[in-house]
Amino acid sequence: MSEQLAGAMYPEDLRELVDAELGRLDFSAQPAAAGLEGAMRYSLLAGGKRVRPVLVLATARSLAADPSRYLPVAVAIELIHTYSLIHDDLPAMDDDELRRGMPTAHVKFGEDVAILSGDGLFAEAIRIFCSQPGEPARVLAALGELTAATGVTGMVGGQYVDVAGKAADAEALRSLHALKTGRLIAAAVSVALTLEGLAEPETIPYRRFADELGVLFQIVDDILDVTGSDEQLGKPHGSDERHGKLTYVSLFGLERARELAASSHAKAIAALAEAGGETGDLRGVADYIFTRNE
């Protein structure tokens, strides 16, 4: 994989901006809700590369905008991502007991509090998004894009297709993950485009990049579920096989899945080349996703 990379670095400065803002969040001043806030913060502050909020800030930077101005949107997207992980880990879903090397929320706090913490994170995400500075019509349009990406036509719909076991071939698998994983990743790019008021023709390369990035993320995820160790992944590997899920590896085999990942990475980088602007940070995110081992 490494020979195809141009050496772009992951934008750690943007990740640090996100982490600092997440650490400052306060969800409730009511003592009675302190346990719920603690559960929310436990999952939210568990670490990670913050790929989705970093994509928001990297897209803003590529458009010559100040990334820090887009922190409300970036933080909101990370809250939504965290809520989805909490619910994914529940016994009724993937039934995972570890996440990033730590007990999952339902193991730590019980299923009832875990469910409520996920619900709370989603609601707080919408509240924080609404504080985004900018032209109100653009903020509203961007919020509409994000909620569509997380609902039945996006992440939640994809999760349903996954748990219902309705993906049976390559086309259905790509469609499933375009909803479950890809839509939120794509929204991280598209909301910044909308907030900046970029003309539709100019958004096309960025949207192609984001769509391909979502596919790449899932292919690599499927590969790591087979090749990664429990320590690398922060959770037991082989989860997909235990649940009998169709994956890029189970459908195509490991080597072909790696070829597909390389192809998606190349397509994402080609789209960036057409976008213009300072896209080095976006390239760094794509390179990280392609080569990640956790």
pLDDT digits (tens, 9 = 90+) for 271-293: 999 998 889 999 999 999 999 88
Instruction: Check pLDDT > 60 for residue 159.
Output: yes
Instruction: Check pLDDT > 50 for residue 1.
Output: no
Q: Is 38 exposed, middle or buried (0-12, 13-18, 19+ CB in 10 A)?
A: middle
Q: Write out the two tokens for 224.
A: 């790591």
Per domain, the residue ranges of the chain are 2-291
pLDDT tens track for 113-132:
999 999 999 999 999 999 99
pLDDT tens track for 65-104:
999 999 999 999 999 999 999 999 999 998 999 998 899 9
| Residue count (the chain) | 294
- Determine the pLDDT at residue 239: 63
| The CATH number of domain 2-291 is 3.40.309.10 | no
- Determine the pLDDT at residue 249: 93
Q: 119 or 165: which carries more pLDDT confidence? A: 119
Q: Write out the two tokens for 288.
A: 């990280």
* C-alpha closest to that of 17 among 56, 43, 64: 56
- Determine the pLDDT at residue 233: 56
Rounded to the nearest integer, the mean pLDDT of the chain is 91
- For residue 102, the SS3 value is strand
**Can you tell me the distance from the alpha carbon of 70 to that of 59, in angstroms, rounded to the nearest whole number?**
10
**pTM, rounded to two decimals:** 0.92
* C-alpha closest to that of 64 among 207, 198, 210: 198
**Can you tell me the distance from the alpha carbon of 105 to that of 97, in angstroms, rounded to the nearest whole number?**
8
pLDDT mean over 224-231: 76
